[in-house]
Amino acid sequence: MTDTAPSAIPPTVQVTLDDGRVEIAHGSPLPSGPYANKDLLPVPVERRTWTTYNFSALWVGMAHNTASWTLASGLIAVGMDWKQAVFTIALANVIVLIPMLLTGHAGPKYGIPFPVFARASFGVRGANLPAVVRALVACGWFGIQTWIGGEAIFFLAGKLIGNGWSEAGAIGGHPWTMWLSFAIFWVIQIAIIYRGMETIRRFENWAAPFVIVGALVMLVWMSNKAGGFGPLLDQPSKLGWGGDFWKLFWPSLMGMIGFWSTLSLNIPDFTRYGKSQKAQTWGQALGLPTTMTLFAFLSVLVTSGSQAVYGQTIWDPVQLAAKTDNVLGLLYALVTVLVATLSVNIAANLVSPAFDFSNVAPRKVSFRSGAMITAVLAVLIFPWKLYSDPQGYIFTWLGLVGGLLGTVAGILIADYWILRRAKLDLVDLYRAGGRYWYTGGWNWRAVLAFVVGGVLAIGGASFKPLIDGRPIPALKSLADYGWAVGLGTSMVLYLALMLLRARGRDGERTA
């Protein structure tokens, strides 16, 4: 029996423009009721203004950040040489670009954010499941990046104020001034997000080139310390190209994919402002794999140089910058870290969960309220513990993220591209009783595919210290391929269940 609650909104007219974009006709009433608010409604066509440059700048700003730096340098820290690390990251970003473009298509076409897009497959209410999972992952990322930004402020203030700041009394294993720096950076980000998406777009436009220059400055500085570029390229792999490398390669590849698996889901939150499909497609294709690979190359060279100069691999760029005796150079490096961290954290880890939490209770939670919920939860997940170890950071945190979110991506892609052929009823996404209402607002087939895919993807992995539990022995062989397993399993299972539904004509309305 299907819940067929009466429509919560009056009839509207949906029109398709010559360029393929879809909007609600002028003069028609906008969706209202319990599943709509101004932040979740489609962006009007006249406000879809982001160009190829805007999307490329967005990715340059997000890719050139401290967490991206630590991905590559972390691979050096666990034994790879620069060639192996760059190869792993380049391949991962080419792979993750594919679901990014596929899910991003709905943004400029319909002007809808990720949680509304997910309603087509999970149901108007059921979309809260992937939205909250995505939002909680973003809370973790927001906390990690805020800790990195706070660390930069801590070192920056220490150079300006002196030992009294750097050697302040410890609380919880860190100087109280470090906690204060963390809080200051937290407040700065909230202030920016409160000014809205247009402010974020402008910030990303100028942050991108600033960060690139900063990374190049660090490379020149390290090459001078090492006596040229030769020592930066000569650091050997501890693994070789045999079995030891490939044993590490697969979980590393899944971890690198997991790094942007968040954006592969909620990229419609940004592409909904796109001027055209061409703008979002070329902007992302030019911005993501190229800049991530270049930045990986820069970071592994600098990290390899730290091994040659200091006799140890320093994978944290803030810790590395703090070793310079040149005050001006240090200040520039740390300001670069601050700008880079602001750039990615606001765009990738605050915008999207703000929409996701708003989707849970559209009439009560606005975009800004959702951002505040994200910022508070980000502190409660203890990000300083997640970031303390490169092994745990790459394999534990990113493995968990990639496995779960790959499962959601499989369902979204199967539903939008294979079942619906990129055609959505825009109005029904916002009302009860429509074609996306399923049973009581939930599509249990998507939920089942998510659960099964998630168990297979991460059930065989050990996620200590994040989760204190034992892996499922029978699934251990799948643990190194979590993202791929989750995406493939959920896609196939969801398609099978939905095709059986269509064949059985179980009484629910179909798209």
Checking if the pLDDT of 508 tops 50, the result is no
Mean pLDDT (whole number) for 28-46 = 84
Mean pLDDT (whole number) for 179-201 = 77
24: enclosing H helix or E strand: strand 22-24
- Quote the CA–CA distance of 346 and 103 in Å, as a whole number: 21
Task: Check residue 316 and give its pLDDT.
Answer: 67
Mean pLDDT (whole number) for 322-327 = 69
The burial class, CB within 10 Å (0-12 / 13-18 / 19+), for 181 is buried
- Quote the CA–CA distance of 341 and 232 in Å, as a whole number: 25
- Rounded to 10 deg, the angle between the 197-226 and 176-193 helix axes is 140
pLDDT band at 274 (very low <50, low <70, confident <90, very high): very high
User: Cis before residue 108, ω within 30 degrees of 0?
Assistant: no
- Quote the CA–CA distance of 175 and 503 in Å, as a whole number: 64
Number of helical (H) and strand (E) elements in the chain, helices listed first: 23, 4
- pTM given for the model: 0.80
Q: Residues of the chain with pLDDT > 70: what percent?
A: 80
pLDDT band at 140 (very low <50, low <70, confident <90, very high): confident
Mean pLDDT taken over the chain: 80
Q: pLDDT digit string (tens) for 353-409? A: 888 888 888 888 887 888 888 888 888 877 777 666 555 555 566 667 777 888 999
Query: How many other C-beta atoms are found inside a 10 Å radius of the C-beta of residue 13?
Result: 12
Mean pLDDT (whole number) for 439-446 = 96
Task: Check residue 62 and give its pLDDT.
Answer: 74
Task: Check residue 11 and give its pLDDT.
Answer: 63
Mean pLDDT (whole number) for 171-182 = 89
DSSP string, 105-147: THHHHH---HHHHTHHHH-TTTTHHHHHHHHHHHHHHHHHHHH
Task: Check residue 104 and give its pLDDT.
Answer: 94
pLDDT band at 29 (very low <50, low <70, confident <90, very high): confident
Query: How many other C-beta atoms are found inside a 10 Å radius of the C-beta of residue 286?
Result: 16
- Output the six-digit token pair for 373: 């919920």
- Quote the CA–CA distance of 152 and 317 in Å, as a whole number: 9
Q: pLDDT digit string (tens) for 63-98? A: 766 667 777 777 777 777 778 888 888 899 899 999
Q: Domain 14-43+51-104+122-504 is in which class?
A: mainly alpha
Query: How many other C-beta atoms are found inside a 10 Å radius of the C-beta of residue 409?
Result: 26
Mean pLDDT (whole number) for 313-339 = 70
- Output the six-digit token pair for 54: 């805007």
Checking if the pLDDT of 116 tops 90, the result is yes
pLDDT band at 10 (very low <50, low <70, confident <90, very high): low
Checking if the pLDDT of 39 tops 70, the result is yes
Report how far Cα 429 is from the mean position of its chain's Cα atoms.
24
The burial class, CB within 10 Å (0-12 / 13-18 / 19+), for 191 is exposed
- Quote the CA–CA distance of 85 and 24 in Å, as a whole number: 47
- Quote the CA–CA distance of 110 and 423 in Å, as a whole number: 10
Task: Check residue 3 and give its pLDDT.
Answer: 40
